[in-house]
Amino acid sequence: MSRIVVPLVLVAMVLFASAPLVVANAPFEQTMGLVQKIFYYHVPSAMLMFVSALLCGIASAVYLFRGSAAADRVAVAAGELVVLFGIIVLITGPLWARKAWGVWWEWDARLTSSLLLWMIFLAYLLVRRFGGPGSEKLAGAMALFGMANVPFVHVSVNYWRTLHPKTSVVMTLAPGMRGAFWFCAAAFAILYVLLLTLRKRLEDKRAVVEQLYLAVED
Amino acid sequence: MKRIVLLLILLALLPGAAVGAQQPAQPAAPQGEFVPVGSLPQAEQLPAAPLVIAAYAIVWVALLAYVGLLWKRMTKLERELADLQRRVQKH
């Protein structure tokens, strides 16, 4: 493992090991009580899903317009992480909603657009996996649509009637909750950088293997 | 004939009478105001702890499963890479 990966693993481990204690010591929300603690993992995961979708879209644009293979490898890594963090968001959200709203799911603008965003990036990975030769470019175009969807998902709670809290909720947190939230957000961000680095490295190795296969065939 | 018709009418009314007998004599007073979830009887409240535990467990399982998957794919690729390098050196 390289110089970057080892410190990242250590920091991520320390932060994730102490995160449950930090969350447990954070004050209880007045109306929702204990179930609001899901917030500390749900929101950072959602933020990273958005960041990853933007990164995948930007890297795909660089690949499509400049032909950079390295950018395409970053796009694959980021696309896979959109799906991973999307799974977390789409499972932890309904668990929270069941107690707070009384329903597992509501087909409102935020939840539906989040599901669509996740499905676009799942389709991105499926196209790359099963699309055959040239599918990288088709998938890259899909990533651009996925990236364009991110701002709509983010502001959807402010423009449409929904049960979901508005975007201002993070900035208006009580001081006791704010520290715990940003602690968890930092832990998730470091984990994200670590996973992205490892996934990109996997894709780099795959490119080397493909080149060697071509060399052996020649 | 009249007796048969009377019997049929009685039979038709019987289920309605049974339902009526099951209903309470005094209907409950309609709910006129908002009741906070916290004020509901304990039996009607959904416990939060299993939902919170499930949410945190799913996050950990998903992340660990992904790291495990990355590890497996990396090991497989490294094996493939070593094999290919041997084949290239032979050529």
Beta bridge mates, A29: A33
Helix ranges (DSSP H) in B23-48 = none
Residue A16 resides in a domain: yes
* Chain A residue whose CA is closest to B73: A202
Chain A CB within 8 Å of residue B61 CB: no
Q: What is the rounded CA–CA span in Å between residue B33 and residue A168?
A: 30
Cβ-contact A42, A93 below 8 angstroms: yes
Cβ-contact A4, A197 below 8 angstroms: yes
| Residues 85-114 (A) with a CB less than 8 A from some CB of B | 87-88, 91-92, 95-96, 98-99
Residue A56 resides in a domain: yes
Q: Do B85 and A213 touch (CB under 8 A)?
A: no
pLDDT along chain A (218 residues), means of 10: 78 84 85 87 95 97 95 96 97 92 90 96 96 91 95 90 82 86 92 94 92 81
Which residues of chain B neighbour A31 with C-beta distances below 8 Å?
36
How many separate domains does chain A show? 1
Does residue B23 register a pLDDT over 60? no
Q: Do B70 and A202 touch (CB under 8 A)?
A: yes
Q: Do B55 and A99 touch (CB under 8 A)?
A: no
Residue A31 resides in a domain: no
Residue A13 resides in a domain: yes
Q: What is the rounded CA–CA span in Å between residue A44 and residue A88?
A: 10
pLDDT in the model for residue B1? 58
Q: What is the rounded CA–CA span in Å between residue A216 and residue B89?
A: 10
Chain B CB within 8 Å of residue A206 CB: yes
Cβ-contact A203, A197 below 8 angstroms: no
Cβ-contact A207, B81 below 8 angstroms: no
Chain A CB within 8 Å of residue B80 CB: yes
pLDDT in the model for residue B41? 63
Choose among B51, B81, B87: nearest Cβ to A95: B51
Chain B CB within 8 Å of residue A41 CB: yes
Chain B CB within 8 Å of residue A199 CB: yes
pLDDT in the model for residue B46? 75
Does residue B20 register a pLDDT over 60? no
Which residues of chain A neighbour B91 with C-beta distances below 8 Å?
216
Residue A32 resides in a domain: no
Question: How many Cα atoms within 13 Å fall on the side-chain side of residue B23?
Answer: 10
Chain A CB within 8 Å of residue B82 CB: no
Q: Which of A134, A52, A126 is nearest to A85 (CA)?
A: A52
Cβ-contact B70, A1 below 8 angstroms: no
Question: How many Cα atoms within 13 Å fall on the side-chain side of residue B68?
Answer: 6
For residue A187, give the amino acid letter. A
Residue A129 resides in a domain: yes
Choose among B51, B66, B85: nearest Cβ to A35: B51
Which two three-digit tokens encode residue B52? Answer: 């919170």
Tokens 């799974």 correspond to A87
Mean predicted confidence (pLDDT) in B4-32: 53
Q: Do A42 and B55 touch (CB under 8 A)?
A: yes
Beta bridge mates, A33: A29
Q: Do B74 and A37 touch (CB under 8 A)?
A: no
Chain B CB within 8 Å of residue A42 CB: yes
pLDDT in the model for residue B36? 64
Residue A188 resides in a domain: yes
Residue A65 resides in a domain: yes
pLDDT in the model for residue A18? 83
Q: What is the rounded CA–CA span in Å between residue B59 and residue B63?
A: 6
Q: What is the rounded CA–CA span in Å between residue B77 and residue B71?
A: 10
For residue A203, give the amino acid letter. E
pLDDT tens-digit readout, B41-78: 665 667 888 899 999 999 999 999 999 999 999 999 99
Would you list the DSSP string of B7-29? HHHHHHHHHHHHHHHHS-SSPPP
ipTM of the complex: 0.89
* Chain A residue whose CA is closest to B78: A205
pLDDT in the model for residue A205? 92
Q: Which domain holds residue A144?
A: 5-26+37-217
